[in-house]
Structure 1
């Protein structure tokens, strides 16, 4: 078929279709030219009609001095089609702009989703840090404040009965310790003994001054990752703190040991106990902290039989 007839077939298709598709356009050109295959390449995409066994004859399609795509026909005997390529300049320019606009829109949507994800992750990380600081203050500094409250009551009673100023001096030292813990926790600083010497040393430094606390850590000999030691340290302090608040005067035992499975710990008291089914909310911090490092916490208690808070972090 003469090229002019191919141009007319293309023009008819373009008039009929307000939104021409490159593959349909290749079909029109290939059929009108008597080719076995026809392909249009626009914006990096190849739209082919026919089997295209080759060889191919390529025609560059330009518009306004800029290449918009490539027209290819096979076999070569279908003849050169420079007139068809010229007619296709403006339509392919529109198709290329639409394709690039769609690509840019998809990339923009992806970038917006990624930005949203980044913001969500940043917000989640900030919330996690905030909750971590909240737990550290609750489990560490509050432990000292509860002890101070108890000491104040004892000093008040002692002074009313002719006590000495030595107790006031001891109380001031406890206040200094509580202030240091608050400042260090707010700054994200872990206890020096915990960082340098491990969990056993940190628990000894923190709890050995409490007459009502017995430390059973003779079977704790190795170090664990810092996040694990920190989690177990603060969990034990919080459990001791709960015992001081709810089981005053009770004997408290803190037991931590290595096992072939991981790190085991428990805090037991001889207090009045409680119904665990009605007090789960107050123990949420303990479970959350252990879960953050892949561990678990269990609470065993009952009215009149004391309380045992046990936990485990696997290797």
Structure 2
């Protein structure tokens, strides 16, 4: 064995420990060999000391299996089979450590992705649940309130049973469609104006001013505004029974504008007044809703969704 190779083996032995450092090994080998550069390639990673040029590469094996590559520059340093043999076990340890760390990182990343997916799925389910809750509140409840009013009338006069049964059938259909995520047919086929007419034209206490509403909007916008208007009318029916209600909607150069007003007793508007559904639903499509009211001065719900 040449003296140079013996010095390199001694330098390698001095660097070995429970967890060999490939960078320290490369520096020790290169320095002891009088090379300008030395590199160890293990598990796809290259650990280099010094500068290269014409590299002389030797495969390092252990147990009959390749563990890495020893590269020396310049080539004139010559092959060092004894050094390659001594490096077999240290490179095997380095390879196993590197691959274990890589698998652990991949496993951690996969676990984080799984947690993220679970959170995302839970958030989507919660969003759908809240959406269904809002749709039931804003749409189906309108029919239930009308039924209550009609029932009171039947009880008082003894007339209107057939109309009451028709309204029961309509409420049942709306509940089933809403639970199934089905939008009103008139809203899907005819747009916002058609849906408002279909739902409110039969209400003698509601005046529709929607002749200037001709444009079609994305379905999410039309459904959001539809349910906001339905809840505003429903709130007027509940809290201002007998009041005259006017629903206005029109296209403007800026977007879709709508208002629901009543001449009922009014109230003091507070942030916790139960009108959060209105503002949340409008905000979901980039719109705004403002509620103005005062005791004795009625209530106005005004909204806007920009183009």
TM-score normalised by the chain length of structure 2 = 0.97
Q: CA offsets, 1:213-258, max 9 Å, x none?
A: 0001011011001111000001100000000000111110111111
> Equivalences for 1:136-215 in 2 at 5 Å?
136-159=135-158, 164=159, 167-215=160-208
Q: Does residue 30 of the first structure (1) align with residue 30 of the second (2)?
A: yes
Q: Does residue 232 of the first structure (1) align with residue 225 of the second (2)?
A: yes
Q: Does residue 43 of the first structure (1) align with residue 36 of the second (2)?
A: no
Q: Does residue 303 of the first structure (1) align with residue 295 of the second (2)?
A: yes
Task: Give, in whole Å, the separation in 2 of the partners of 1:116 and 1:24.
Answer: 39
Q: CA offsets, 1:194-223, max 9 Å, x none?
A: 001100000000000100000010110110
Q: Secondary structure at the match of 2:19?
A: coil
> Equivalences for 1:67-106 in 2 at 5 Å?
67-106=66-105
* Structure 1 unaligned residues grouped into runs of 5+: none
C-alpha contact 2:20 2:93 (8 A) present in aligned 1 = no
Q: Secondary structure at the match of 2:68?
A: strand
Task: Give, in whole Å, the separation in 1 of the partners of 2:4 and 2:94.
Answer: 26
* Structure 2 unaligned residues grouped into runs of 5+: none
Q: Does residue 273 of the first structure (1) align with residue 266 of the second (2)?
A: yes
RMSD: 1.0
Aligned to 2:285: 293
Q: Give the 3 Å change call, closer, same or farther, for CA 281–35 of structure 1 in structure 2.
A: farther
> Equivalences for 1:247-258 in 2 at 5 Å?
247-258=240-251
Task: Give, in whole Å, the separation in 2 of the partners of 1:13 and 1:22.
Answer: 9
Using the TM superposition, give the Cα deviation of residue 184 of structure 1 relative to its aligned residue in structure 2, in angstroms: 0.7
Task: Give, in whole Å, the separation in 2 of the partners of 1:29 and 1:93.
Answer: 17
Q: Secondary structure at the match of 1:49?
A: strand
Task: Give, in whole Å, the separation in 2 of the partners of 1:174 and 1:61.
Answer: 85
Aligned length: 305
Task: Give, in whole Å, the separation in 1 of the partners of 2:19 and 2:99.
Answer: 16
C-alpha contact 2:261 2:299 (8 A) present in aligned 1 = yes
> Structure 1 segments of 4 or more deviating over 6 A?
none
Q: Does residue 109 of the first structure (1) align with residue 108 of the second (2)?
A: yes
Aligned to 1:131: 130
C-alpha contact 2:233 2:245 (8 A) present in aligned 1 = yes
Q: Does residue 21 of the first structure (1) align with residue 28 of the second (2)?
A: no
Task: Give, in whole Å, the separation in 2 of the partners of 1:174 and 1:18.
Answer: 82
